[in-house]
Amino acid sequence: MSSPEIASLSWGQMKVKGCSTTYKDCKVWPGGSRTWDWRETGTNHSPGVQPADLEEVVKKGVKTMVIGRGMSEALQVPPSTVEYLKKNGIDVLVLQTEKAVAEYNALAARGVQVGGVFHSTC
């Protein structure tokens, strides 16, 4: 199963190819996507992305995880989150969201089992 292309990104809006939903923040993995609702794990810009935010995507068997920190990189990614991914044998890229989407799409196009979490505002 391949990772879906992120078809478009603008401030506060993301579209995933093959999905009719417009996301503000989203999670993507081989074969699917859904809204990334920060309230599920109590996520805020600081301390930022927690392992609990990534567990669902990790369980889909991804080899690489791309984390989009927002358009102005306001979303933090603590070292413990990166360590969690590495302990699970997953490569991780932490980038500004526009760069993260471009990198994610490039990996997906090459057939990499890539997943991601993306913040589309600040």
Chain centroid, CA 81 distance in Å: 13
Tens-digit pLDDT profile for residues 51-93: 999 999 999 999 999 999 999 999 999 999 999 999 999 999 9
Token readout for 121 is 């505002």
Residue 34 has pLDDT above 90, yes or no: yes
Cα–Cα distance for residue pair 23/61, rounded to 1 Å = 23
Confidence of residue 108 (pLDDT cuts 50, 70, 90): very high
What share of the chain in percent tops pLDDT 70? 100
Confidence of residue 29 (pLDDT cuts 50, 70, 90): very high
Confidence of residue 1 (pLDDT cuts 50, 70, 90): confident
Q: What's the CATH number for 6-118?
A: 3.40.1230.10
- Cα 78–Cα 49–Cα 93 angle in degrees, nearest 5: 75
Q: Which sequence spans correspond to the domains of the chain?
A: 6-118
- First and final CA of the chain: distance in angstroms? 32
